[in-house]
Structure 1
Amino acid sequence: MRNDRSAQRQMILQAATIVVLMISGGHAGASPLPAAGLQASLRPLARPEVAHTVATTQLRPRVRPANRHRVASAGPVPPKISPAEQRGFHAWIAAFRLRAQAEGLSRATLDQALADLEFDPDIVQRDGNQSEFVTPIWTYLERAVSDTRIENGQAALRDHEDVLNRVEARYGVDKEVVAAVWGMESNYGRFRGERDIVRSLATLAFDGRRGVFFESQLIAALQIIQAGDVDPRAMTGSWAGAMGHTQFMPTSYLAYAVDFTGDGKRDIWSDDPTDALASTAAYLKRYGWVKGQPWGIEVKLPPEFDYAQADRKITKSAQAWRQIGITRVDGGSLPDHGKAAVLLPAGAGGAAFMVYRNFAVIERYNAADAYVIGVGHLSDRLKGAGPFRTDWPRDTRPLTYKERRELQERLSGAGHETGVADGRIGPRTRAALRAYQIAAGLTPDGYASLSVLKRLRSSPGETPELGAPQRFN
C-alpha cells in the first residue's frame, strides 16, 4: 500500500515538474478545477466511512502553535520528507497556482496564502492510518455522551443562552441540537484543531489518494481568505481540513456559513462561537430540519416483530406502527411525530429506535448511525432526558474491515449480490444480508455480525478468495 502511494506521488512529482518546465517556457495554459472535485453533499466534515469509529474530540484546552507551520504535539516525531518529494511539492504548487487563478483567485491571495508553504508528511501518514478494528457503538456512545460532555454542554447552554435562543428563533433548530453538534465536533470549542488548513489541504491534494477532492477544498479555502473572512495564519483546524467550532469543510463554509454577529465576517475560528453555531443551524435548516420533531425515540418491539420491517426505506405512520405492537421503551403509547422507520444499529440484540426526518437531516452532517444517535442522544440529555434503557450486545464485537469484505464476498458467492467488496456495509450489502438471513432461517435484521459470518463460512459452496476489492457481475 505504502509503495503504491509512493509510486503515485512520484508520478505526480514528475507531472508537476513537467508543468513547471512548460510554465518557465511560456507554454502552459490554465487548467480549470474539475467539477467532480466538489463534495456532493457539502457535509461539514469528511468522516471515516466506518459507522462506529470514535470521534477524535478531546476534553482539553486548546494550544495554539507558535507559527503556522508548527503544531504543538506530544506525539512521535513526524516522518521526514525526501528532498525530491519536497521539490515535487513545490512544483505542484507552481502548477496549482495556474488552476487556482482560473478559478478567480488573485495573485495577491495566492502569494499571501502559499508563500513558504511546506509539505507535511505527518498528515499523509495520518491519512493512510486506517484502523482495522472498529469501536462498538455502545463504547462510542459512552464516550460521546459521557457525564462530562453532558455537564460541559449544560454549562455551554447557560454561558451562551442568549445566542443560542436567537439562533433557535431564527432557524427553528433546537438549541440543544446545535449545542450537541458543537459538543461532538470540538467539545464546545475546546478542541478546534490547530493545523494550518492551507498546508494540510495542499499536502493532501498533492499526495494524490483523494487529490481531486482535496484540491477542491483548497480552492474553497483560498476563496474564503480572498473574501476577507479570515487571515491565512488564523485559518486552522483538523489535519483533514475541517475548521472551527463545528468543523466545517471549506466548501460547506462557502455554501452555508453565516455572519450572525453582523461584523462583516463569517468567523467560525475565534473564541466567540456565535457565527459557528448559527452556521450549523443554517446548515441543518437548509437540509429540511422539522421544528419540534425529535431525531428519534427509543422503542420496544413486540416479540413477534418482523425484523425485515426494520429498514430505513420502510416508513410508516405512528398508528401503523402501533397496530403491530411497537410502543415507547417504557411501554407507553407511541407518539405521533410523523412518518418514521425502525432502526436497529446493533441488530436485533440491541436497542431499537423509531427515527424521523430529523435523523436524516443530522445524517447530512455525518452519515454514520453512531454519530447521528450520539448527537440526538446528547441533545436529549441536555434537555434533561435519561440514558437509553435497553442494553447492548456487549458479548459481541463489530466485524473488522477484513471480515466485512469477507462477508460481502461470501454473500455474493452465495448468490446475494453486494456489488463491490469494499468493506462498507451500505444499503446493498444490508439487503443482501437480509436475503441470506431469510433464506437461512435467521433473524433478518440486516446486521453484519460475527455469528452471521461464521454461518456463511460453514455454508457449502465456493467462495471467492479474499484479495483486492472485487466487483461481482
Structure 2
Amino acid sequence: MTFITRLFFTVCISFLLAQSPAMAYDPPPQSEADFQAWLKGFKKQARQDGISQQTLNKAFKNVHLNERVLELDRRQPEFTRTFWQYFNRAVTDWRIETGQKLYEKYKPQLQEVTREYGVPGRFLIAFWGMETNFGGYTGNTPIIESLATLSYDPRRSEFFQKELMAALRIIDQGHIDPAQMKGSWAGAMGQCQFMPSNYLRYAVDADNSGKRDLWNSLPDVFFSMGNFLNELGWQREENWGREVTLPENFDLALADGRTKRSLDDWRQLGLKLADGRPLPEADMKAALLLPYDYRGPAFLVFDNFDVIKRWNRSDSYALAVGHLADRIVGRPPLSKTAPKDDKSLTRDQIKELQERLALAGEDIGKIDGIAGSKTRSALRAFQLQNGLPADGYPSYRMLKILQKTVR
C-alpha cells in the first residue's frame, strides 16, 4: 500500500471523528499495570457472558495498552476542512476510474445484491472505495488490542466495551482468528469497515463458507453492505440526490439540508438541474443542501442521502459517496469547482469570526471556535444586513470581510 493511500485513510478517519468537535479531553493517569488489572476483570465478565476460555486465551495473548490508539483518540482537530478540501481528496480520478473498472468486473455479483436488497451496484462500489480504497487498505491495528485500550480509557468506555464483547463473539463463532482480526485504530474492520456490533447484525456469509469474512470474501463484503444499507432504510428505485442550480436572489436559508419540499415545489421556486434542464414533475420530497458558500454546488437530496448519513453522519462523506456512485456509471462531474480563496479555518480563526460577529451586535452564543447553528445564524443575519449572499457559511472569505468591516 502506498504512502498516499495510508495518508488518505488517516485523513478520512480524522475527518469523520471531527464532525462533532468535542471539548479537550484530560485523561486520568494510566499505566500498563492498571490496564492489565482492568483487563483481568473484563475477561472474567466476558467468561460469565458466555465467551469461551479458549477464545479469551487466544484473543488477549500479548495484548497491551496501546498508547498510539489513545493518542489518535484524543487528538483534537486543528482546523475544519472545507467541503472542497474533503471532496477533492475523496472523489479522485483514480477512484472514479478504478471504480468504473471494478463495477464492470463484478457486475454479475453486484446485480445479485441489488435483486436481494435493492441497493444499486454503483453505490456498493462507491462505499467500498471510500472505506478502504476498494479493499486496498483495511487497517493494520490489532482489533482486540485497540478496543481493549479504548474500553479501558474512561472517555468512551461503555461504548467500546460493547464493541470489544462483540469482537470476542465474532472470534468465538469461528469467523476469524484473532491474529488476522485487524482494522482501524477505532475498531472498524474489513473491506467495508464494520464495527464489531454491526458485523454481528449485518454481515452475511454470501459464499456459504461457514464464515462471514469481510477481509477476504468479496461476496460477503458486497452482500453485507447491501444488507446493512437495506436495514438502514434504503429506498429501492430512488436516487440519492441531484446537483441543481439556484435562481438569482434565492433565499439561501432554505438550503439547510432539512427543509423538505416536493420536486414540484422546488421547481416552482426556480430550481433547475445543473445542466439547465427542468426538475422532473413529481411529488417526491427532497431537501436542499448547500455544503459550501453561495459559490459552491447545491444539491437536492432524497431519502437515500439520509440513509448514507446513517452509515456516516458527515454531509461531505454522503455527497462524496453519492457523486462517486454517479461518476462510476458515467455521469458528469460537478458544475462548480473550488474558488482560489478556498482555505480552511483554524479553531482560533473561527473564534475570531465569532468575536467579530458579536462586536457587530449579532447573537453568537458561546465563543468556542466551533461553527455550529448559532454561529451560522448570526453570520447569515450579518450578511443580510450588509447586502451579502446570506449563505451562513463560515468561510475564510467571510473572515476577511469581517476583519475589514468590524473593528
Structure 1 and Structure 2 fold alike (TM over 0.5): yes
CA gap 1:304/1:235 in 2 versus in 1, 3 angstroms: same
Alignment equivalent of 2:164, drawn from 218, 242, 246: 218
C-alpha displacement of 1:434: 3.3
Is 1:97 the counterpart of 2:43? The answer is yes
TM-score, with normalisation over the residues of structure 2?
A: 0.85
For residues 256 and 269 of structure 1, the distance between their equivalents in structure 2, rounded to whole angstroms, comes to 15
Q: Does 1:300 align with 2:268?
A: no
Distance 2:14 2:144 in 1: 16
**2:356 and 2:406 in contact (8 A); partners too:** no
Structure 1 residue ranges without an equivalent (≥5):
1-44, 54-83, 462-473
| 1:451–1:152 distance in 2 versus 1, CA, 3 Å | closer
Q: 1:428 to 1:52 in 2, by over 3 A?
A: closer
More displaced, 430-439 or 90-99?
430-439
**Displacement, 1:435?**
4.2
**Aligned amino acid, residue 184 of structure 2:** S
Distance 1:427 1:281 in 2: 34
The aligned residue for residue 315 of structure 1 is 260
Q: Match for 1:434 among 380, 386, 404?
A: 380
Instruction: Letter of the 1:356 partner, please give it.
Output: F
Residue pair 2:362, 2:381 contacting (<8 A) in 1 also: no
TM-score by length of 1: 0.74
Distance 1:104 1:430 in 2: 50
**Structure-1 residue corresponding to 2:25:** none
Q: Which whole-Å CA distance do the structure 2 matches of 1:252 and 1:432 have between them? A: 39
| 8 A contact 1:134–1:400 mirrored in 2 | yes
Q: Per-residue displacement from partner, 1:270-327 (whole Å, max 9, x unpaired)? A: 2x22112211111111122122222111111111211111122211111111112111
Taking a change above 3 Å as real, the CA distance of residues 97 and 377 of structure 1, as seen in their structure-2 partners, is same
Deviations 1:365-402 (A, max 9, x none): 11112211111111001111121112233313132233
Letter in 1 for 2:208: G
Residue identity matched to 2:247: P
Contact 1:416 1:436 in 2 (8 A): no
**Identical pairs, percent:** 42
| Distance apart, 1:427 and its partner CA | 4.3
1:196 aligns with 2:142: yes
1:96 to 1:225, Cα distance in 2 relative to 1, 3 A: same
> Are residues 1:129 and 2:75 paired?
yes
Question: Which residue number in structure 2 is paired with residue 285 of structure 1?
Answer: 230
Name the SS of the counterpart of 1:184 in structure 2: helix
Q: Give the whole-Å Cα distance in 1 for the aligned partners of 2:378 and 2:50.
A: 47
How many pairs align? 385
Write the mapping of 1:273-422 to structure 2, written as runs, cut at 5 A: 273-336=218-281, 338-407=284-353, 414=361, 416=363, 418=365
1:50 aligns with 2:1: no
Question: Against the structure 1 CA distance between its residues 460 and 189, is the aligned structure 2 distance closer, same or farther, given a 3 Å change threshold?
Answer: closer
Pick closer, same or farther for the CA change 1:169–1:428 going to 2, 3 Å.
farther
Pair 1:141-2:87 in alignment = yes
Look up the SS of the partner of 1:348 in the other structure: coil
Query: Does 2:111 correspond to 1:155?
Result: no
Q: Is the 8 A contact 1:310 1:343 kept in 2?
A: yes
Of 167, 172, 177, 1:231 maps to 177
Cα distance between partner residues in 2 of 1:226 and 1:184: 30
Deviations 1:330-383 (CA, angstroms, capped at 9, x unpaired): 111112562111111111111111111111111111111221111111100111
Structure with a larger share of its residues in helix? 2
1:327 touches 1:334 (CA, 8 Å); kept in 2?
yes
Q: Compute the displacement of 1:411 (Å).
A: 5.7
The 2-side partners of 1:124 and 1:138 are apart by 30
